[in-house]
Chains A and B, each alone.
Chain A
Amino acid sequence: MWVVFKKEIRSFLGSFIAYIVMGVFLVITGIFMWLIQENNVLDLGIASLQVMFNIAPYILIFLVSAITMRSLSEERRLGTIEILTTRPVSDTAILLGKYFAAVGLIVFTLLPTLFYYYTINQLADPLQGVDSGATWGSYMGLVLLAASYASIGLFASSLTDNQIVSLIISMVLCFFWYGVLSLLGDIKALELIGKSLEWFSLDFHYQSISRGVLDTRDIVYFLGFIATFLGGTKLVFESRKW
């Protein structure tokens, strides 16, 4: 598994995808956090990273999909999948290696935003007055959310040998699970059905963790979500054997 992991990380770094993803993420969150009038931290007058945590899920939909779009589809297009799967390595190890490489890259992308936390903490009145519980909870939520997106992305990439198709499928699925499902809860006419569907959305559990309370139900939801999509990926990946 680590052999595949290492190769994937190298290929991210070699193909500039890593730099583009990190650059785009940091620039966009930076603009929203510090520059956009009346929405930035200084104008809002509240010492929190809430602005970033609100915008990040939407940026990540695109970025995570861009990271994972080629992981399996490219292997299929090139035919290298045949070499990979005829090595003495199980299919599960190959998939997990690719999955954790994508997650690792995203976590690494999030790391520089810790500077925002430090900065705001220094600017806060009283000093270091940022709600650290909520902030760490939100980081945890963001990592789990991105990891869930990555499992969707890997699944989408297993479906086709075309990167663009894979990117679009992944973005649509991510947006559905994050945005659309949670909006259903707001529709009055749907009442209970809408509310229960909302429970299945990634947003519902992301918001829940963001409050700074680590509820096992949320963790189990995220891990279950990831396991389901990775299971689906494995199923599609092994369909060559049917």
Chain B
Amino acid sequence: MSIQVNHLSKRYGSQWAVNDLSFEIPTGEIVGFLGPNGAGKSTTMKILTGYIPASSGDAVVCGFNLNTDSLSVRKRVGYLPEHNPLYLDMYVTEYLQFSASMAGVSQIKSAVEKAIDLTQLSPERNKKIGQLSKGYRQRVGLAQALIHDPEVLILDEPTSGLDPNQVLEMRNVIKNLGKNKTVLLSTHIMQEVEAMCSRVILLNHGKIIADDTLEGLKQTSPNDSLEIIFRNLTNSHVGSI
């Protein structure tokens, strides 16, 4: 198992951002984290990458417990945060070298070359990040996430704000990466999941309302598209509250 989450909860003040979440992701699977805005997707990802601790419950990533051995987890996880934060005044290669040394990579040069190769960044590699188009910035974000060849990739809305061509390219890159890595990616677009993922975890109000393979989800309502199933699930859940 790459990721094991047991009864994970996170509370901000009196509000539960994530409420008693439990799931497992085996090695080598691409899982889509789906849900409306504010469902708790980003919060869960922030916890799994060690940025913030959970209020209760625990998570084991790559065999290491996040509560007790966060550094070991961080060595093995690549993370692309929401909105893809970057140092705009750094050069692409300079930034990737910095990322590599922060990640504790020993062969920095070859790691940077490999990441540039995987994300097809080479035409823009000598530019400042601030000069890049959104699509290339997103690739830089992805490149820094996989600079240390992590076992697990956690990508928070990796395709948001990209044009249709860039979305397609990004999906292909992620799909390729998913061949030998565990990938957890969040999105609120159903087609995205259909294109890349083998399994979906649907969140709403911090709780899991569906955790199934794509086929399994389709079978619950064979006549509807995934989009409609998604909408029905999130709406009926809101109704029940």
* Contact code string A68-99 (vs B, CB < 8 Å = 1, else 0): 00000000001111111111111000000000
State whether A11 and B89 are in contact (beta carbons under 8 Å apart), knowing that A86-B79, A87-B103, A88-B74 are contacts in the complex.
Answer: yes
Question: Which residues of A have CB within 8 Å of B104?
Answer: 88
Question: Which residues of A have CB within 8 Å of B75?
Answer: 88
State whether A15 and B51 are in contact (beta carbons under 8 Å apart), knowing that A79-B81, A86-B77 are contacts in the complex.
Answer: no
B53 interface neighbour in A78, A81, A241, Cβ under 8 Å: A241
User: Which residues 224-241 of A have a CB within 8 angstroms of B?
Assistant: 240-241
Q: How far is the CB of B238 from chain A (nearest CB, A)?
A: 29
Tell me, in angstroms, the Cα distance from A3 to B103 when the chains sit together. Answer: 10
B102 interface neighbour in A89, A240, A241, Cβ under 8 Å: A89
State whether A86 and B98 are in contact (beta carbons under 8 Å apart), knowing that A15-B89, A78-B85, A79-B83 are contacts in the complex.
Answer: no
B71 interface neighbour in A78, A81, A90, Cβ under 8 Å: A90
Question: Which residues of A have CB within 8 Å of B98?
Answer: 3, 7
Q: Is there an interface contact between A82 and B51, defined as CB atoms closer than 8 Å?
A: yes
Cβ-closest chain B residue relative to A2: B101
User: Which residues 59-118 of B have a CB within 8 angstroms of A?
Assistant: 71-72, 74-75, 77, 79, 81, 83, 85-90, 94, 98-99, 101-104
Tell me, in angstroms, the Cα distance from A87 to B75 when the chains sit together. Answer: 7
Of A79, A84, A88, the most chain B CB neighbours within 10 A belong to A88
A240 interface neighbour in B51, B79, B90, B94, Cβ under 8 Å: B51
* B52 close to A (CB within 8 Å): yes
Question: Which residues of A have CB within 8 Å of B36?
Answer: none
Q: How far is the CB of A73 from chain B (nearest CB, A)?
A: 14
- Interface of A (DSSP majority class): helix
Q: Is there an interface contact between A14 and B86, defined as CB atoms closer than 8 Å?
A: no
Tell me, in angstroms, the Cα distance from A82 to B87 when the chains sit together. Answer: 12
* B234 close to A (CB within 8 Å): no
Question: Which residues of B have CB within 8 Å of A78?
Answer: 85-88
Cβ-closest chain B residue relative to A79: B85
Tell me, in angstroms, the Cα distance from A241 to B54 when the chains sit together. Answer: 9
Q: Is there an interface contact between A83 and B79, defined as CB atoms closer than 8 Å?
A: yes
Tell me, in angstroms, the Cα distance from A169 to B62 when the chains sit together. Answer: 43
* B188 close to A (CB within 8 Å): no
Q: How far is the CB of B155 from chain A (nearest CB, A)?
A: 13
Q: Is there an interface contact between A86 and B87, defined as CB atoms closer than 8 Å?
A: no
Cβ-closest chain B residue relative to A240: B52
Contacts beyond the supplied A85-B51, A88-B102, A241-B52: 18 A-B pairs with Cβ under 8 Å: A3-B102, A11-B89, A11-B90, A15-B89, A78-B85, A78-B88, A80-B86, A82-B51, A82-B81, A82-B85, A84-B102, A85-B50, A86-B50, A86-B74, A86-B81, A87-B103, A88-B104, A240-B51
Interchain Cβ contacts under 8 Å between A and B, 18 examples: A3-B101, A10-B94, A11-B87, A14-B89, A78-B86, A82-B46, A82-B51, A82-B85, A83-B79, A83-B85, A83-B144, A84-B102, A87-B99, A87-B102, A88-B103, A89-B102, A90-B71, A241-B52
